[in-house]
Copies of this chain bind each other. A is one copy, B any other.
Amino acid sequence: MIRVFICGGSGYTGCELLRILSNHPHVVVTGVTSEKSAGKSVVELFPNLRPYSKLIYEPLQVENIIDKAEVFFMALPHAKSQAAVHDIFSKGKTVIDLSADYRLRDVKVYEGWYGVPHRYRSTLKKAVYGLPEIYGKQIAAARLVANPGCYPTGAILGMYPALKNKLVDTNTIIIDSTSGISGAGRTSDIRFSHCEVHEGFKAYAVTTHRHTPEIEQELSVIAKRDIKVNFTPHLAPFDRGILTTIYARLKKDISTGKILDIYKKSYSGEAFTSVLNTGTFPDVKNVRGTNLCEIGLAVNKRTKTLIIVTAVDNLTKGASGQAVQNMNIMLGFDESTALDAVALHP
């Protein structure tokens, strides 16, 4: 059994890691940290996590935890993750960081969007962007993975085959996403209280969301040219899931069916992408609690535009499920281990 440890386990991504790992036959969770909830039991915060009835939150002190595990999941807030990741990685451990701190390769871009300096540039250079459908080989060889953001996961997987196959004009990409409330994290902020968001729907962080440079970085790598996108997130009154609707002008006449063939070929052999048939589009309800990314698309002939729609669970494929997928790849397990659950319906 591989020992794994979770730094920052009192949020929803920490809870989701514990849920998924409870079903993993080859690992055991040896500890979990939380500054605010240190001393409390995991089950006190999350009554659903019954298999962890003896697990108690402890404060994050590297010297106390470093010998407890071979693999560390870091689910700390942005900026706070930098040093902890560096310290633990420096001591030879395998690290999967769910924060944004090691995702952006260009330090200036990171510092511009996040407003804090990056103090660990040499460690940053060793991080692999943890989107397995694109970086599978590098992840298998890595000891530090920067787990993608929730919005970027759905956006990049939606655009990857189109860009790789040069189907669209890269100056015309519009990414319009909607997230459930859990995207805001486990927070006492009144803006996410039931009465404020129920029966509501709105855009937020219009033109300013921090996942924008992450999406642009990865799309630019795929397209081998500098890409800027319009990215607008919305907040909807459901708990889990992100639906992303992407628009891009086609460079030539091509049918929906042919593009679907390209997508299916591009993702053949992948366990967690599901390209839907013509006329069928994703629903976040279909991927709840799963590591799947559903993809549907259509060509608008009248406007020569490709419209791609993807659905992921922001806490699973958009965070903790993908982190476990990365761990599986890094440790040489079957990629789907502990990730093959069927979604609840309803």
List chain B residues, Cβ under 8 A from A50.
Answer: 274, 292, 342
Residue in contact with A238 in the complex, picked from B230, B237, B247, B302, CB distance below 8 Å: B237
Instruction: Please give the distance in Å from A162's CB to the nearest CB on chain B.
Output: 15
Which residues of chain A from 319 to 341 have a CB within 8 Å of any chain B CB?
Answer: 341
A201 near B345: Cβ-Cβ < 8 Å: no
Interface flags, A179-192, vs B, CB<8A=1, else 0: 01110001111101
Instruction: Please give the distance in Å from A31's CB to the nearest CB on chain B.
Output: 18
A241 to B307, CA, bound (A): 24
A119 at the interface (CB under 8 A from B): no
List chain B residues, Cβ under 8 A from A55.
Answer: none
B194 near A198: Cβ-Cβ < 8 Å: yes
Interface flags, A201-230, vs B, CB<8A=1, else 0: 111101100000000000000000000111
A292 to B196, CA, bound (A): 19
Interface flags, A269-296, vs B, CB<8A=1, else 0: 0000010000001111110111010001
A342 near B234: Cβ-Cβ < 8 Å: no
A240 to B285, CA, bound (A): 14
Residue in contact with A181 in the complex, picked from B178, B195, B229, B298, CB distance below 8 Å: B195
A239 to B201, CA, bound (A): 11
A178 near B201: Cβ-Cβ < 8 Å: yes
A243 near B203: Cβ-Cβ < 8 Å: yes
Name the CB-closest residue of B to A244: B203
A346 near B283: Cβ-Cβ < 8 Å: no
List chain B residues, Cβ under 8 A from A341.
Answer: 23, 341
